[in-house]
Amino acid sequence: MIRTRFAPSPTGYLHVGGLRTALYSYLFAKQKGGKFLLRIEDTDRERFVTDGTLNILKSLYWAGIVPDEGAQLGKGDTVTQKGKHGPYIQSERLDIYKEYAAELLDAGHAYYCFCNSERLEQLRETQQKNKMPTGYDGACAAMAPAEAKKRVAAGEKCVVRLKMPKDGETRAKDLIRGEVVFKNELQDDFIMLKSDGYPTYHLASVVDDNAMEITHVVRGEEWLSSLPKHIQLYAYFKWEIPEFSHLPLLLNPDKSKLSKRQGDVAVEDFRAKGYLPEAMVNFIAFLGWNPGTAKEMYSLEELVKDFSLEKVSKASAVFNLEKLDWYNKEYLRQMPLEELAKQAMPWFEKAGLNPSPNRGGARGGVWFESVLALERERVATLSELPAAVKFVFILPEYEAKLLIWRKGTLAEALKILPEIKDFLAGLKKWDKASLEIKIGEWIKEKDYATGSVLWPLRVSLSGQENSPGPYEIAEVLGKDESLKRLETAIAKLKN
């Protein structure tokens, strides 16, 4: 069975690059009828952040990426674990790593290293001065194991390093890049167990990928340089090597590495801005992959069907916010109004606008939906909706001169507005279509220029220079409120 994993470190939040890694691993596993796991790599205690795991879980679940196994989002926003390969949180597996480190020490593939930071610093300086590759020189490898054990027993501070081959090449297969080749002379004996007893990423991830029966490792390109280390660990343990896929980097439009300094990179920030999970997932899926057809709109289910790791590009992908906005707009436009109303509701409550469905009365229970329909095609995110339709809830302050059409005069507006108000007061049907017909007929009959009526009417209703058309607004406002706003406009002109 195919088993993939996403293995984030809980350093604060889920990065959009992490979301892509998780998504691709998820899609691949789901497509093959396999399992997708979430493992928490929290062995770097200096970068550990409380609630980091919870934040990652919340963002993943929001996006619809729910792990079959491993860390889970439990009731009441708690972190739970599920599955028989656990624990799935690395800080709960320290004994396991120690055991495997001991196995490598016993076999002579690893050794204790007592070099202190001053020595390592000096070594580095000398190497740099002589234009040599930097890295550990293997000094402690020569120490007799009995001597090393004695020093460890005496409580001396030490790390455990893995012996790496010094010549030849390490070759590996990457599903996206094909064969990758590393020169062994550039590898040093890296630390796999730190002096605090915690494993480094290399040891922990290889031990866990094996223990958790991971068949496909999907991760970011930044881990490609670690691959020879991992291959060597697999070789010493005589474990089967999983398939690897290293995903291309995400870049800012100026081709710099995507980082927090240039804008949002945390999934939770996009969520807080009112991006829809469907849009985010669709957008993220296309950062490095495309189906090779013109189809751009993909639900998570469709992605599961069509995604392919082999089609992921080696080239870096540009994180283009305009494209994300485009996706979000499309999803907002296509979402059933009822659903949109449900999702928009909290944003209105936050903005202090009462989305109570009975307000306005004109269309009863669907009133709020008709308000949203006014502007939903013009906004990019849910968070922009309250401001866009605020004029429906509260008539904005505006100046009398805004009521005067660019080809008209004050006198004309003062004549026409009371007339149209009286005409509207006599109408029985108050929906957009009949208003459009009736007002159209009235304008013709009076022989007015269309703009001389529709401009002041629309400004009276919206209080804004730009807004949707007067018929739609009138319908949403209802007859009473519309007439009231016309009165306000007339009073403004008279002042």
Minimum separation from the CB atom of position 64 to ligand GLU (A): 20
What is the separation of C-alpha 68 from the centre of its chain, rounded to a whole number of angstroms?
20
Residues 190-209 that bind ligand GLU (CB under 6 A): 201, 205
Q: How far is the CB of 77 from ligand GLU (least distance, A)?
A: 22
Which of 214/380 has CB closer to ligand GLU?
214
* Rounded-to-integer distance, Cα 104 and Cα 202, Å: 14
- Choose which of 3, 20, 219, 376 interacts with ligand GLU (CB under 6 A): 219
Q: Does 17 bind ligand GLU (CB under 6 A)?
A: no
| Cα gap 120→190, rounded to integer Å | 13
* Listed ranges 7-15, 267-275, 389-397, 438-446: which one lies at the site for ligand GLU (CB under 6 A): 7-15
Closest distance between ligand GLU and the C-beta of residue 237, in Å? 17
Q: How far is the CB of 95 from ligand GLU (least distance, A)?
A: 20
Between residues 190 and 223, which has the closer beta carbon with respect to ligand GLU?
223
Give the contacts of 489 (CB within 8 A, at least 6 positions apart).
403, 417, 456, 459, 460
Catalytic residue among 260, 311, 342, 446: 260
Nearer to ligand GLU, 9 or 59 (CB): 9
| Contact window for ligand GLU (CB under 6 A) among 2-10, 104-112, 167-175, 242-250 | 2-10
Contact string 32-51 vs ligand GLU (x = CB under 6 A) = ---------x----------
Q: Which is nearer to ligand GLU, 4 or 328 (CB)?
A: 4
Which residues in the 402-461 window bind ligand GLU by CB under 6 A? none
**Based on the number of CB atoms within 10 Å of its own CB, is 423 exposed (0-12), middle (13-18) or buried (19 or more)?**
middle
Beta-carbon count within 10 A of 272 CB: 11
Closest contact distance (angstroms) between CB of 170 and ligand GLU is 17
DSSP 315: S
Tell me how far, at minimum, the Cβ of 219 lies from ligand GLU, in Å.
3
DSSP string, 19-43: HHHHHHHHHHHHHTT-EEEE-B---
DSSP state of 310: G
Nearest CA to 284 out of 252, 234, 327, 313 is that of 327
Query: Of the ranges 1-9, 300-308, 346-354, 451-459, which one interacts with ligand GLU (CB under 6 A)?
Result: 1-9
Classify residue 236 by its DSSP letter.
H
Query: Residue 192 or residue 382: which is nearer to ligand GLU going by CB?
Result: 192
Count CB atoms within 10 A of the CB of residue 124: 13
| Catalytic annotation present for 260 | yes
Q: How far apart are CA 282 and CA 354, in angstroms?
A: 32
- The H or E element that residue 191 is part of is strand 191-193
CA distance 247 to 258: 14
Q: Does 112 bind ligand GLU (CB under 6 A)?
A: no
Q: Which helix (H) or strand (E) holds 332?
A: helix 321-334
Q: Is 7 in the site for ligand GLU (CB under 6 A)?
A: yes
CA–CA dist 355, 462 (Å, integer): 18
Task: Count interface residues toward ligand GLU (CB under 6 A).
Answer: 8
Report the catalytic residues: 260
The binding site for ligand GLU (CB under 6 A) comprises 7-9, 41, 201, 205, 219, 223
